């Protein structure tokens, strides 16, 4: 855009110079000035120069017009792109508000429960996770799996485990609270590697590995919509930030439906 604007300015200056030259000559067209010349040789030489000048002027005007059109199209394209970005921003803000409202409603509902009811709810969750983990392990999925963590994986895992006990807060990425992908992205940042912020983008952009090949530090993406992520610890366990009302904790790697395994430092 800047180069185009500078080119346009230069062309306008050339066109302006031609206009000023005509003004200085009294407003007579160059052809008329030559026709009034008393020197025939100068007339012939002047005709050739005139043709060259007219060609150059026509080229300048043509390029000026072309550049103006290019800049206009650039402005149209930029405006359209800005509109798309603005629409996406509004959509994201609306989605964020909707999620926050749902989380708030769930928290309010849970806060109305008596201590005994809360304990029972937690117990039911743990029982469901235990059953899922047991079923997953019974398939022999981890047989022969002895992948060792990379140096980066060790650092990322050390960071994640150190956050155990900190509360889940949607959209948080530390240091006092985390959501699931906030924990995994910050853990790998602490290990010196920047990875996508959300579980969906982690699934989309990071290399996938087979379950049998996973190693500590790998990320486990859960559910069909890739809405949750944890970090594999080893021995069938993972560390994650579960949900609102819960804290960063250890859990069975197979306690939820696994969609994929991705490796940040493949």
Catalytic positions, please?
A: 180, 228, 240
Buried b / exposed e along 44-67 (16+ C-beta atoms within 10 A): eebeeebeeeeeeeeebeebbeeb
Q: What element of type H or E holds 229?
A: strand 228-234
Is residue 130 within 8 A of residue 166, CB to CB? The reply is no
Q: What are the φ and ψ backbone dihedral angles of 168, each rounded to 5 degrees? A: -80, 130
CA proximity to 194, closest of 262, 90, 265, 136: 265
Taking phi over 0 as left and psi of -120 to 50 as alpha, with beta for the rest, 261 belongs to beta
Beta carbons within 8 Å of 250's beta carbon, 6+ residues apart: 164, 233, 237, 238, 239
Q: Yes or no: say if 257 and 131 are a contact pair by the CB < 8 Å rule.
A: no
How many CB atoms are closer than 10 A to CB 128? 12
Q: What are phi and psi of 69, to 5 degrees?
A: -65, -40
**Assigned token pair, 207:** 């290399």
262/179 Cα distance (integer angstroms): 18
């Amino acid at each position: 855009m800047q180069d185009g604007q500078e080119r346009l300015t230069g062309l306008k200056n050339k066109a302006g110079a031609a206009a000023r030259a005509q003004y200085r000559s009294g407003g007579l067209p160059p052809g008329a000035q030559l026709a009034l010349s008393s020197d025939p040789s100068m007339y012939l030489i002047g005709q050739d120069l005139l043709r060259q000048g007219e060609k150059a002027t026509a080229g300048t005007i043509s390029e000026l017009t072309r550049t103006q059109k290019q800049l206009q199209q650039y402005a149209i394209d930029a405006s359209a792109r800005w509109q798309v970005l603005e629409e996406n921003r509004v959509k994201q803000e609306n989605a964020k508000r909707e999620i926050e409202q749902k989380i708030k409603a769930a928290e309010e509902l849970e806060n109305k429960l008596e201590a005994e009811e809360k304990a029972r709810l937690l117990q039911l969750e743990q029982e469901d996770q235990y059953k899922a983990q047991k079923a997953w392990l019974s398939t022999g999925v981890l047989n022969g799996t002895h992948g060792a963590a990379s140096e980066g994986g060790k650092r990322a895992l050390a960071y994640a485990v150190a956050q155990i006990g900190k509360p889940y807060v949607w959209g948080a990425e530390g240091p006092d609270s985390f959501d699931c992908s906030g924990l995994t992205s910050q853990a790998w940042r602490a290990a010196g590697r920047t990875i996508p912020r959300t579980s969906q983008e982690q699934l989309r952009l990071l290399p996938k590995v087979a379950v049998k090949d996973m190693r500590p530090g790998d990320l486990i993406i859960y559910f069909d919509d890739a809405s949750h992520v944890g970090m594999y610890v080893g021995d069938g366990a993972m560390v994650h930030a579960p949900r609102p009302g819960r804290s960063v904790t250890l859990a069975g790697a197979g306690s939820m439906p696994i969609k994929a395994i991705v490796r940040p430092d493949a």
